[in-house]
Structure 1
Amino acid sequence: MNADYLVAFLASTAGAATPVIFASMGELVAERAGVLNLGLEGMMLTGAVMGFAVTLSTGSAGLGLGAAALAGMALALLFAFLVLTLQTNQVATGLALTLFGVGLSAFLGRSLAGQTVEPLAKLSIPVLSDIPFVGPLLFRFDLMVYASIALAVGTGWMLARTRLGLLIRAVGESPHSAHAIGFHVNMLRYAAVVFGGAMAGLAGAYMSMALTPMWVEGMTAGRGWIALALVVFATWKPRGVVLGAYLFGGVTVLQFHGQGFGLEIPSEFLSMLPYLATIVVLVYICRDPKTILLNKPMSLGQNFKAD
């Protein structure tokens, strides 16, 4: 393996991990508040098609990202209304949201197939970007890659060090106790779910505006489910999400760089590796229930209704 292949592999890994980090961080905040949203895949696809469509029509990547975030928030708000206000089952509602998002994105994207947009611009920092090996790995990514790391750091700090984080965790652990001392449980849960929707929308937009700057039906290819799995893999900790996302990203791009590395492995096997690796890691993590219970919000998936 020469240096050029290694740089290309590691840089591609960062790009592949970015949408998963955005989606997982949003879901982590929602789950820490006690809400299990299985609709990530649908929200990501809706964000992908809306971000691409707005960017294509306006030529502005910023407007495209904003539209994607709003689309994800709209679906998340619908989910929150159903499960928090109408008290529907969170699992069933999340699955329905995914199916709705898949169908909606396919409908909205019918006229967009085959068209392309300019990918998100890569930042170029004078001098630093030209450093051999280090420059391409650290200083030549688009803004969303850096934003994903900032999001992980900010989410970890918010949950661990701020009053808002304390409230979110309190609501996730014992909503009845939180309500008894005056916290607005469902209001906090609404905010957490809508934040998760915005992040899922941005995750989808990154795929249609940066990774493959075009719209392809079903282009998320299960990454919403991977994001859900990574939250468990990380035991609800932001740093674990980043680690898992980069692991998934590395295995994902291996299928594209495998031949360059001289790996004589069928392409079909390489295509299934990211999902196989996710299953293996989850089985390993879940072998000891105590590992999961250490950080799992106690009210996760449970509806709350004020007396």
Structure 2
Amino acid sequence: MLSTLNSLFIAAVLAGTPLLLGALGEILTEKSGNLNLGVEGMMFMGAITGLAGSYYYEQGVVKAGGDPSGVLSALIALIVSFLAGALGALIYAFLTISLRANQNVTGLTLTIFGTGFGNFFGEYIGQKAGGYVAVSEVTKNTFSKLHIPVLSDIPVLGKLLFQYNWVVYFAIVVAIIMAWVFNKSRIGLNLRAVGEDPATADAAGISITKYKYIATVVGGGICGIGGMYMSMVTTSGVWVHGCVSGYGWLAVALVIFATWSPARGMLVALIFGGLTIMRMYVNIPGLPAQIYDMLPYVATIIVLIVTSMRQSKEHAQPKSCGNNYFREER
């Protein structure tokens, strides 16, 4: 029983990491007052570009007669996926901030665009590669369990803390940094002011456009890294059509469940991650497998209902979220 719970916990952390990254990116975006529903699309863009970046790097090195570096390959995947997600968010930001297009419609359009972008180029690169695109074992090993000498060998603590790949620790660090920035730094306080009341923030001399653009673009980049995790870890470095499979929408729900807090986002991602893989560790006789697959979405519906009933001002969505700011309307 204890062994099963330990395995479930480890699997929940691994499954919850892309949800956490997607949620963190959306939290940062919404803190600026922008409601970007294109998380799914940005994750798809990050998934294919991260995988393609590593794949083409490996192919180039091999053709040159060298041996690919797993660390460099992983770094390329990280950077390229961030840039891809940031590009999708930049398109959204230009349309909603500069042109003041409807945020909901633009976000949904970005989801459709990003999903098509990922699946199209995934299939295209796969055909060029001879059927499917996959990175080498060198890169796959870089995304496997992190081993730190001495620390990983500690009997209980070592097994509990060092059972994951480096992206898990990266996501935790990002969440901690975001929590500190929001609550302890002047930049974070200015960003929260922009999200709550942009007119007042503008009158105080805060550049609304700058904060919105930077928060939205960086948030999109973080979502892109979450997509890279799906293609490099979840599907083991092989492109699978539709690999993000709704995780972007779950990440949007996580933002609400975590009440726009990066710190609480880590716990919520763990819970939802456990729900997505529960069928592998909890077997109830006679219960169809489809019921297990429904659990994360049922939890999402319950979360939305409970959150709408709470009406807590302290943990509410930023007031200007979803509304475009136009200085002349102050």
Could you tell me the TM-score, scaled by structure 2's length?
Answer: 0.87
Q: List aligned pairs for 1:229-244, cutoff 5 A.
A: 229-244=253-268
Partner of 2:204: 181
Give me the whole-angstrom Cα distance separating, in 1, the residues matched to 2:193 and 2:298. Answer: 35
Give me the whole-angstrom Cα distance separating, in 1, the residues matched to 2:54 and 2:30. Answer: 31
Letter of the structure 2 residue corresponding to residue 16 of structure 1: A
User: Does residue 84 of structure 2 align to residue 62 of structure 1?
Assistant: no
Q: 2:234 aligns with which of 197, 200, 211?
A: 211
The CA RMSD measured in Å over matched residues stands at 1.7
Letter of the structure 2 residue corresponding to residue 93 of structure 1: T
Give me the whole-angstrom Cα distance separating, in 2, the residues matched to 1:2 and 1:159. Answer: 38
- The 8 Å contact of residues 7 and 136 in structure 1, kept in 2 or not, is answered as no
- The 8 Å contact of residues 260 and 315 in structure 2, kept in 1 or not, is answered as no
Residues 2/294 of structure 1: CA separation in 2 closer, same or farther (3 Å cut): closer
Partner of 2:14: 15
**Shift in Å, 1:246:** 0.6
Give me the whole-angstrom Cα distance separating, in 2, the residues matched to 1:145 and 1:256. Answer: 21
Per-residue deviation, residues 182-207 of structure 1 (Å, max 9, x unmatched)? 11101110000001110010000011
Give me the whole-angstrom Cα distance separating, in 2, the residues matched to 1:71 and 1:141. Answer: 25
- Classify the secondary structure of the residue corresponding to 2:323: coil
Give me the whole-angstrom Cα distance separating, in 2, the residues matched to 1:200 and 1:244. Answer: 17
Partner of 2:68: none
Give me the whole-angstrom Cα distance separating, in 2, the residues matched to 1:24 and 1:179. Answer: 27
Residues 292/210 of structure 1: CA separation in 2 closer, same or farther (3 Å cut): farther
Q: 2:104 aligns with which of 91, 99, 110?
A: 91
Out of 112-121 and 201-210, give the one that drifted further: 112-121
Give me the whole-angstrom Cα distance separating, in 2, the residues matched to 1:47 and 1:36. Answer: 19
Give me the whole-angstrom Cα distance separating, in 2, the residues matched to 1:173 and 1:225. Answer: 24
- The 8 Å contact of residues 49 and 105 in structure 1, kept in 2 or not, is answered as yes
Residues 266/48 of structure 1: CA separation in 2 closer, same or farther (3 Å cut): same
- Classify the secondary structure of the residue corresponding to 1:116: coil
User: Does residue 52 of structure 2 align to residue 53 of structure 1?
Assistant: yes
**Shift in Å, 1:271:** 1.3
Give me the whole-angstrom Cα distance separating, in 2, the residues matched to 1:305 and 1:2. Answer: 57
Q: List aligned pairs for 1:26-37, cutoff 5 A.
A: 26-37=25-36
Q: 1:276 aligns with which of 263, 283, 298?
A: 298
How many residue pairs get aligned? The number is: 303
- The 8 Å contact of residues 248 and 278 in structure 1, kept in 2 or not, is answered as no
Q: Could you list the runs of 5+ residues in structure 2 that have no partner in the other structure?
A: 59-72
- Classify the secondary structure of the residue corresponding to 2:327: coil
- Classify the secondary structure of the residue corresponding to 1:103: helix
Partner of 1:221: 245
Per-residue deviation, residues 213-271 of structure 1 (Å, max 9, x unmatched)? 22112111111111111111111111221121111001111122234xx6552211111
- The 8 Å contact of residues 235 and 243 in structure 2, kept in 1 or not, is answered as no
**Shift in Å, 1:2:** 4.7
Q: 1:115 aligns with which of 133, 136, 141?
A: 133
Could you tell me the TM-score, scaled by structure 1's length?
Answer: 0.93
Q: Could you list the runs of 5+ residues in structure 1 that have no partner in the other structure?
A: none
